[in-house]
Amino acid sequence: MQTVDEVRFSKEARNFLKKADAKLKSQIKEGIEGLKTIPSTGNIKPMEGYKDGRMRLRIGKYRVIYRYENSSLLVLYIIDIGARGDIYK
């Protein structure tokens, strides 16, 4: 089992977490914890139409869009977080 060395958030993801209420923030952080080990846990699917390995994690009606970057460290990069209806636009 492989573990993530670092977690990075995009500006959009960081802004979403700042605005989210405490309960939602807690659920999202718990979901991201499940992504820190490979194989990851949670309701995960690969995203179609992207060649950079993007995946989505479902947390209720919210989605966390992420990918793994592998240089000298394994980095979990959170691309965006948002409601299901808005995140795919």
Domains in the chain, CATH or no CATH each: 2-84 (3.30.2310.20)
Task: Give the pLDDT confidence of 42-57 residue by residue, as tens digits.
Answer: 999 999 999 999 999 9
- pLDDT confidence of 89, banded at 50, 70, 90? confident
Over residues 13-41, the mean pLDDT reads: 95
| Of 45, 56, 61, nearest in space to 79 by CA | 56
Are residues 1 and 69 in contact, defined by beta-carbon separation less than 8 angstroms?
A: no
pTM of the model as a whole = 0.92
